[in-house]
Amino acid sequence: MASGGMKLDVEGFKKQIEEKKKAILLGVKEGFKNGQDYLENIMKFYIEETVYNVYTPVMYDRTYELRDNVTAKVVGNSIYVYVDSTGMDTTADGIPYPYRVLEGHKVHPYEHTPNDGSWAGYMNERNWVEATREEFISHMNQSQQFLQIVRDSIQKRI
């Protein structure tokens, strides 16, 4: 009697799936790296809008350290977008200047305040982190651009 049917190489199939999974993960990481500039530019745009464009200072000159130090960095399987405070000037209590804006003069006193003792607008706390993060996330949720960079990188690997 002739034997029929076919033999399924389950082990080989499993191996192939594992290899694809590795390739996809590598593609994702590569996509994150390829998308770093894009993410930094979008974050810079929102920092510009939520921090700088709402106010023109008269009591001090801007350094633009906050905007210029936006960094996107791949760590393990994740990508982080943040402001790198390494090397920034610090306040008397050791806080990088741009972060002082978050909690204002009451928490991190400014060195220079109006001579007449009045309260100037720049001394108020301004939570630019929440505002910027919210806008950045909603942009990412809507726009396909970053996803596309990652998808393309995966496609090249598989």
- Shortest Å, Cβ 156 to another protein: 10
Count CA within 13 A, CB hemisphere, residue 58: 3
| DSSP states of 120-154 | PGGGS---HHHHHHHHHHHHHHH--HHHHHHHHHH
Interface with another protein by CB under 8 A: which range of 46-54, 70-78, 89-97, 100-108? 46-54
Q: Which is nearer to another protein, 9 or 127 (CB)?
A: 127
Count CA within 13 A, CB hemisphere, residue 36: 14
Q: Select the residue interacting with another protein from 33, 38, 86, 107 (CB under 8 A).
A: 38
Q: Which two tokens stand for residue 130?
A: 């929440």
- Shortest Å, Cβ 145 to another protein: 5
Interacting residues toward another protein by CB under 8 A: 38, 41-42, 45, 49, 53-56, 135, 138-139, 142-145, 148-149, 151-152, 155
